Amino acid sequence: MDTVQRAIRERRSVTRVADTPVERARLNALIEAALWAPNHKLTLPWRFVVVSGDARDALGDAHADARRRLDPGLTPEGALAQRALTRRAPHIIVCAVRHPGDDPVARREDRDAVSAGIQNMLLAAHADGLGAVWRTGPFVDEPEVRAHLGCGPGEEIVGFVYVGLPDGDAPPAPPRPATADVAEWRDG
């Protein structure tokens, strides 16, 4: 099996990582990989925010604020638990798409490009021995989180990529269907 096919199959969503910082150059290489994704009309629709150290708590606070508004019965312990979720990895690369216009086709294509960029990022992390998982969660579109990350009008958060050094074995691969179950072949 060739290198690319092997990397695609061996990459896993790694949720258990050590709280050890990763060198900035390695994180930067992940963002560079994202920039090589296909992008119709080369609109460069992406924006990234790398959240590390105590900045994770500020992002966690924004999540907790959103949750508190949606669930006024949330206990202080519940809010703290929500906030702590951003400490599940030493770094979170926030991947956003910027939509300059209202054209629905361009908006879809731009978001698709950012998603493709995230997959590049995950594969690059895997190739570099890093553990990474693409997370979204229920608050990705909530105003508290958007404002905290400086999202402008029309901008969307496509993913939070949690990155760190793997802590333990990679999780087993969830099964994938056989191509015969999902692909139709039309010849001639």
Ligand X SMILES: Cc1cc2nc3c(=O)[nH]c(=O)nc-3n(C[C@H](O)[C@H](O)[C@H](O)COP(=O)(O)O)c2cc1C
Q: Which residues bind ligand X (CB under 6 A)?
A: 12-13, 15, 133-137, 174
Minimum distance, C-beta of residue 84 to ligand X, in the bound complex (Å): 15
* Distance, CA of 66 to chain centre: 19
Closest contact distance (angstroms) between CB of 14 and ligand X is 8
- CB closer to ligand X out of 6 and 41: 6
Q: How many residues does the chain have?
A: 188
Q: CA–CA separation, 58 vs 98, rounded Å?
A: 23
Rounded least distance, CB 170 to ligand X, Å? 8
Residue located via tokens 């216009």:
101
**Measuring CA to CA, which residue among 58, 53, 51, 41 is closest to residue 113?**
41
**To which residue do tokens 């951003």 refer?**
86
CB of 2 to ligand X, least distance (A): 19
Q: How far is the CB of 15 from ligand X (least distance, A)?
A: 6
Listing DSSP states for 114-183 in one string gives: HHHHHHHHHHHHHHTT-EEEEE--TTTT-HHHHHHTT--TT-EEEEEEEEE-B-SSPPPPPP---HHHH-
Nearer to ligand X, 101 or 171 (CB): 171
